[in-house]
């Protein structure tokens, strides 16, 4: 609904991932041996933290190749952890500096964001880190020394990487060319650290691959892993236009751009899969803003790009015209100023007829404990409202008797009912279905 990405780091969007493993290796659960000694770092209250284990991932050719496919593609490891050549189309990583890290931002007043050196250099990189140090950082947001990582590290996108895919990424990282590049640590303000402290989630059980037998399922997984929603949703905008509706201001140093609409509307992705693949492969002939990491996504094979297109095409059409070439003007859809803003008008789906008496079975309080999200469903005469404690009340537009579009919200809400018509839970249809269970009446 109106949950802010920086509040929960949008954990709900990141579907149980890890597919396309292809090598037939069984999942590798955490070992139970005693954890290696690591520096003791004060962890903020509320942080989910597990001790390190001594597990080691066997280095196989299949894992190396799979890890490279993920790391140089969907996960964008080298795009984030490398200096980039902004003079080249797509701003690829600088040759010879792949994975060596960089200082993203430093205000000179103690707040600093650093993408660390992930090459296996023993002194300045990951050469002395254990496999589980890397695994815990990638999926759980805890650094090798026990620190909470800044949410700019997309561990919540990667949190459901299967055990096999995780092992593959770690094996691949070990094969990078070591680069000596000493860097300072990230420094967060007290408020930033407080917000980040509750984002990590310890993974204590094996993570298996989801079913991706159909293109839409496969694309949903790929989109979640690539964090498409993180960039292409206007989380901080005055009005939330919807999942993938664009409008998010992306900044990297002096470079910035508003993300575009990915929904199947004339203002978004309303072209066929072949056109979509051409755009991703070439960045529209190199003209696509390099803040869009097409230099990484172009490494995906046709099967995966077709699947991504199938998933985006399955989304509700949302009107939101955005351009980074046109002068910024005020947009009524997101409440911000961006190119083509003046062209926009709020377009809502047509409501189907539903007997308002059915709303009574939906009214109640719902909650997802893992992501600390509560939602109240209220009836206001012949209207149904969704009330988020941290946001405004949103009118729910019936798409069916059990499915509703929130005006100014994120994604359709689907109610699951018992035999009497009383809702047991409500599901937000995002990159992963986010389930909120009904709370007992007070």
Mean pLDDT, 10 residues at a time, the chain of 442 residues: 40 29 34 43 76 96 97 95 93 96 90 96 97 97 92 89 94 98 93 86 90 92 90 94 95 85 96 96 87 93 97 96 96 97 96 96 94 93 93 93 96 97 97 94 79
Domain that holds residue 105: 17-208
Q: Helix, strand or coil for residue 215?
A: helix
Please tell me the pTM assigned to this model: 0.85
Write the CB contacts of 1 (distance below 8 Å, at least 6 apart in sequence): 240, 375, 386, 388, 391, 394, 406, 409, 410, 428
In a domain, 220, yes or no: no
Q: CA angle at residue 428 from 377 to 205, to 5 degrees? A: 120
Domain endpoint, select from 287, 316, 343 = 343
Same domain for 310 and 427? Answer: no
In a domain, 363, yes or no: yes
CB 186 within 8 A of CB 114: yes
Number of compact structural domains in the chain: 3
In a domain, 266, yes or no: yes
* Amino acid 41: pLDDT: 55
In a domain, 127, yes or no: yes
Same domain for 376 and 303? Answer: no
Same domain for 328 and 364? Answer: no
Domain endpoint, select from 208, 241, 265 = 208
Domain endpoint, select from 317, 343, 369 = 343
* Amino acid 359: pLDDT: 96
* Amino acid 42: pLDDT: 62
Report how far residue 276's alpha carbon sits from residue 178's, in angstroms, rounded to the nearest whole number: 36
Same domain for 409 and 263? Answer: no
CB 58 within 8 A of CB 28: no
Between the alpha carbon of residue 10 and those of residues 76, 133, 177, 297, the distances in Å are 18, 24, 33, 22
| H-helix or E-strand spanning residue 276 | helix 273-286
* Amino acid 255: pLDDT: 81
In a domain, 222, yes or no: no
* Amino acid 8: pLDDT: 33
CATH of the domain at 411: 2.40.128
* Amino acid 342: pLDDT: 98
Same domain for 241 and 293? Answer: yes
Torsion of CA 274, 275, 276, 281, to 10 degrees: 90
């Amino acid at each position: 609904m109106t949950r802010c990405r920086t509040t929960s780091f949008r954990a709900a969007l990141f579907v149980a991932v890890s597919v396309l493993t292809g090598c037939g290796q069984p999942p590798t659960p955490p070992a139970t041996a005693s954890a290696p000694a690591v520096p003791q770092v004060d962890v903020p209250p509320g942080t989910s933290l597990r001790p390190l284990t001594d597990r080691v991932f066997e280095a196989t050719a299949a894992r190396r190749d799979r890890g490279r496919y993920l790391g140089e593609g969907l996960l964008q490891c080298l795009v984030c952890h490398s200096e980039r050549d902004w003079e080249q189309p797509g701003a690829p990583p600088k040759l010879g500096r792949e994975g060596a890290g960089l200082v993203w931002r430093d205000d000179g007043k103690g707040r600093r964001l650093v993408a660390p050196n992930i090459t296996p250099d023993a002194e300045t990189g990951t050469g002395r880190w254990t496999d589980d140090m890397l695994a815990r950082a990638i999926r759980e947001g805890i650094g090798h020394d026990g620190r909470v990582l800044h949410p700019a590290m997309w561990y919540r996108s990667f949190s459901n990487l299967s055990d096999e895919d995780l092992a593959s990424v770690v094996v691949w990282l070990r094969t990078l060319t070591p680069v000596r590049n000493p860097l300072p640590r990230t420094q967060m303000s007290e408020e930033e650290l407080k917000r980040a402290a509750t984002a990590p989630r310890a993974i204590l059980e094996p993570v298996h691959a989801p079913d991706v037998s159909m293109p839409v399922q496969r694309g949903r997984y790929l989109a979640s892993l690539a964090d498409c929603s993180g960039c292409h949703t206007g989380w901080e905008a005055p009005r939330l236009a919807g999942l993938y509706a664009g409008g998010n201001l992306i900044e990297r140093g002096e470079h910035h751009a508003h993300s575009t609409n990915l929904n199947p509307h004339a203002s978004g992705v309303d072209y066929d899969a072949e056109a979509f693949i051409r755009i991703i492969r070439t960045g529209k002939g190199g003209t696509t803003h390099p803040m869009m990491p097409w230099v990484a996504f172009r490494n995906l094979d046709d099967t995966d790009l077709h699947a991504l297109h199938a998933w985006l095409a399955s989304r509700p059409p949302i009107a939101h015209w955005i351009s980074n070439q046109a002068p910024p003007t005020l947009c009524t859809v997101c409440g911000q100023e961006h190119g083509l803003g003046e062209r926009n008008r709020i377009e809502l789906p047509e409501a189907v007829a539903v007997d308002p008496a059915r709303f009574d079975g939906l009214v109640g309080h719902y909650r997802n404990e893992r992501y600390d999200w509560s939602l109240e469903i209220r009836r206001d005469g012949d209207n149904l409202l969704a009330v988020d404690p941290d946001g405004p009340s949103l009118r729910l537009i019936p798409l069916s008797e059990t499915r509703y579009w929130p005006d100014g919200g994120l994604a359709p809400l689907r109610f699951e009912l018992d035999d009497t018509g009383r809702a047991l839970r409500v599901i937000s249809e995002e990159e992963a279905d986010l389930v909120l269970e009904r709370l007992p009446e007070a």
